[in-house]
Amino acid sequence: MTPDAREAAHRAASDRELVVWVDHQDCIQGELPRAELRARGLIGRCTFILLFNDAGELCVHRRTLSKALYPGYWDVAAGGMVAPGESYAQSAARELAEELGVSGVALREHGTFYFEEPGNRLWGGVFSARWNGPLRLQPEEVLEARFLAPAAILDEARQRPYCPDSLEALRLAVSRSDVASLP
């Protein structure tokens, strides 16, 4: 299977995945296929995991072009939709392992936030972790990854497309922590 075909198959499977649907207060309303949640303009639950190395640099990765939201954009957080029966923390651990191949690390919780723009309504749970080992990128979701200083990321975000929801997650974590102490 070619990389493009693998991405397309992954996207179709992702659109069918059941995800948690919530209201404006983050109370669970039920579960729906991801594509239906988006098509109906409903609110989902999502996780954002900021992955730092010991130098204090943050992992940024470029999303594949087959992603439903923000295709080809740079992202400061691993993450994704919360599955039925999962907590934010369980989803964060699963997503970090799936997208970047990082597992068995302590996750620090930074709280939740509401984000809304056309086509993207979510409650996000924000976490951070520290990792110095190799990354195993999920080829259907991640084109490339690198570590950068947070200040460099914010400068770069003025010139390159970055996911606005994950930038909001970074702002929340920074506002609740000393950046040097993250995760």
Q: Which residue has the tokens 């991405």?
A: 7
179 pLDDT higher than 60: no
Query: In sequence order, which residues have a C-beta less than 8 Å from that of residue 4 and are 6 or more positions away?
Result: 66
- For residue 165, the SS3 value is helix
Average pLDDT of the chain, as a whole number? 92
Q: What is the CA radius of gyration of the chain?
A: 15
Band (pLDDT 50/70/90 cuts) for residue 59 is very high
**pLDDT for the residue numbered 54:** 95
Q: What is the mean pLDDT of residues 143-160?
A: 93
**pLDDT for the residue numbered 177:** 72
* Cα torsion 111, 114, 115, 119: sign: positive
Q: For residue 67, give its domain range.
A: 3-181
CATH code of the domain in which 165 resides:
3.90.79.10
**pLDDT for the residue numbered 174:** 85
Query: In sequence order, which residues have a C-beta less than 8 Å from that of residue 181 and are 6 or more positions away?
Result: none
94 pLDDT higher than 90: yes
**pLDDT for the residue numbered 7:** 62
**pLDDT for the residue numbered 14:** 74
**pLDDT for the residue numbered 11:** 61
Q: For residues 174 and 180, what is the distance between their CA atoms, to the nearest angstrom?
A: 9
**More confident of the two residues 177 and 47:** 47
Number of structural domains the chain divides into: 1
